[in-house]
Amino acid sequence: MSVRYPALLLLALALCAGCGPVASTSHYVDARDSLGVAQAEGAAEYAPYEYTKAEIYLRKAKELQGRSDYEQSVVFANEANDMAKKALEVARKNKAKAERLKARPSSVPRPATQKKVIEVQGTPAPLSPGGIR
């Protein structure tokens, strides 16, 4: 039995050696998917700051993963995921607000398109911007 425990320990260590890339990739894929959902909802237009921040964090996570810095890659992937979710939330809110503003009639009167004229000795003359002919 004493031979069995070192063998199990060695097996456990061998399995954990691959945990970094697996965890990093998993977090990266989650963030990428969240960013895709945000993009589909128009986050690039309606939540540009949050969306751009999520993109930058995701690129940094991929860069760190390429350098085998898996722990930091996970940190940036989680930040990207959080920002992508925030971008989605803000985009939905701003999109709904924009649609409500388009749907309701404007209460501000539109300016007249015709020039105002005054009559001086029977002849109409257009007003200049200063009111002087």
Q: How many CA atoms lie within 13 A of 76 on its CB side?
A: 18
Q: What is the pLDDT along the chain (133 residues), one digit of tens a residue?
A: 455 666 555 555 455 555 788 999 999 999 999 999 999 999 999 999 999 999 999 999 999 999 999 999 999 999 999 999 999 999 999 999 999 998 877 665 666 565 555 555 665 556 556 555 5
Question: Which of 32, 38, 50 shows the shortest CA–CA distance to 88?
Answer: 38
- Provide the whole-model pTM: 0.65
Cα–Cα distance list, 40 to 5, 34, 35, 109 (Å): 52, 10, 9, 36
